[in-house]
Amino acid sequence: MNYPHPFIAREGWPFLALAAAVAALASWYSLLWSMPFWVVAVFVLQFFRDPAREAPGDAKTVVSPADGRIVAVEKAHDPYLDRETVKVSVFMNVFNVHSNRAPVDGEVNEIWYKAGSFVNAALDKASTENERNALWIRADAGADVVCVQVAGLIARRILCYVKAGDRLQRGQRYGFIRFGSRVDVYLPPNASIKAALGDKVYAASTVLASLE
């Protein structure tokens, strides 16, 4: 999943092909009545866009794992490594890019998948109640970072393409969530947080924190 890769994520090709085929068929009958189908096709196109990004910083830099808006920057208990942390959460709406990128350089130690509900991903309880997939990454800077893909209200598929033992570079594409979701990042308490509540962030490009 390293760059270069298609501008339209591979996960979206079947959906885009179906939407375009239906719109084209509707156009054959009536151009006017086909317009709503073309609107759907354009929506699918924008949802599955996946632009290449350059990750800034060095081994201590933590970049955003997703496009969206910061909905939480708070002290929190990490349920995966049973420790106290600072949690930074990014909410993705249906108009954001939905591919997920590694927040740090490091090695994947373990992955946990938990089935769950599909409540609004903008709510904090989504972190503990929704379907989710967590990566424990031992950063090259020496810290433990946990990055959690969380399904949203209409998200029904979390995709993760890495396994324990894989190495990741910050900004590297590792997964995808379909149709609205969030990503939580659990950082050591001494991490220097750069992001603030309400900030608009971009996967791989926006710096969330610096590891000490």
What gap in Å lies between CA 147 and CA 66, rounded to an integer? Answer: 11
C-alpha Rg value of the chain to the nearest Å: 18
133/82 Cα distance (integer angstroms): 16
CA separation for the pair 207, 212 (Å, rounded): 14
Q: Write down the pLDDT at residue 1.
A: 43
What DSSP assignment string belongs to 169-180? -TT-EEEEESSS
The Cα–Cα gap between 145 and 103 comes to: 8
Distance CA(182)–CA(71), nearest Å, equals: 9
Mapping DSSP to helix (H, G, I), strand (E, B) and coil, where does residue 11 land? Answer: helix
What is the pLDDT at residue 3?
46
Question: Which residue reads 């947080």 in tokens?
Answer: 193
Q: Which residue has the tokens 């603030």?
A: 196
pLDDT score recorded for residue 180: 63
- Taken in order 50, 65, 139, 146, the sign of the CA dihedral is negative
CA distances from 93 to 7, 140, 168, 195 (A): 19, 31, 26, 19
CA angle, 139 then 4 then 186, to 5°: 25
Question: Sign of torsion, CA 172 176 179 185?
Answer: negative
Please tell me the distance from the alpha carbon of residue 139 to that of residue 57, in angstroms, as a whole number. Answer: 14
Cis before 6 (ω within 30): no
- The reply to whether 181 belongs to the active site is yes
> Which one from 34, 181, 192, 210 is the annotated catalytic residue?
181
* Mean pLDDT per 10-residue section of the chain, whose length is 212 residues: 60 77 84 82 74 90 96 96 97 85 97 80 72 95 95 74 95 83 94 96 96 90
Distance CA 26, CA 20 (A): 10
| Per-residue confidence (pLDDT) for residue 120, from 0 to 100 | 64
β-strand partners of 63: 207
Q: Which residues pair with 138 in a beta bridge?
A: 107, 144
